[in-house]
Amino acid sequence: MIRTAKILVPSLAVVWVSMFIATHLPPAQLPATHVSDKTAHYIAYAALAILLHFVLRIRGMNWWRGAILTLVVCAIYGAFDELTQPPVKRTADIMDWVANMKGAASGTAVALLICGLISLSRKKTEKPELVSDA
């Protein structure tokens, strides 16, 4: 568990900071990509949601609270991200926020699926306790 935290927490920080930097570069400084803007938003927020949900889970949060908090944090951060782009000559776009939320919802669903599969695999490997007749 500690090894996992040592990987997930810095990974979450790197992804989050990278997202902020990428969305606050002036348009002229953005690299050309062959991915649509909405697809990029979707993928970035899916990755953010997966990592955030895993970090919340390893910190002891149960699955449903972790899922709700992940979606709320992604929604608030996505809105903040869009609203802070105009000073760098980028456009705040509600459809970008919608793509963010679609990605966050998909990422949260993937994280829940992975956590569920891990939980099932752990249950299968646990040995049942012997019951005595005493």
pLDDT digits 0-9 by tens, 31-85: 788 889 899 999 999 999 999 999 999 999 999 999 999 999 999 999 999 999 9
Q: How many CA atoms lie within 13 A of 114 on its CB side?
A: 13
Q: Is the pLDDT of residue 113 over 90?
A: yes
Q: Which class for 11: exposed (0-12), middle (13-18), buried (19 or more C-beta within 10 A)? A: middle
**pLDDT band, very low/low/confident/very high, at 128 (cuts 50, 70, 90):** low
Residue with tokens 């005493």: 134
Q: Quote the pTM value.
A: 0.85
Q: CA-to-CA distance for 113 and 90, rounded, in angstroms?
A: 35
For residues 32 and 91, the model is more confident at: 91
CA angle 70, 114, 60 (to 5 degrees): 55
For residues 25 and 52, the model is more confident at: 52
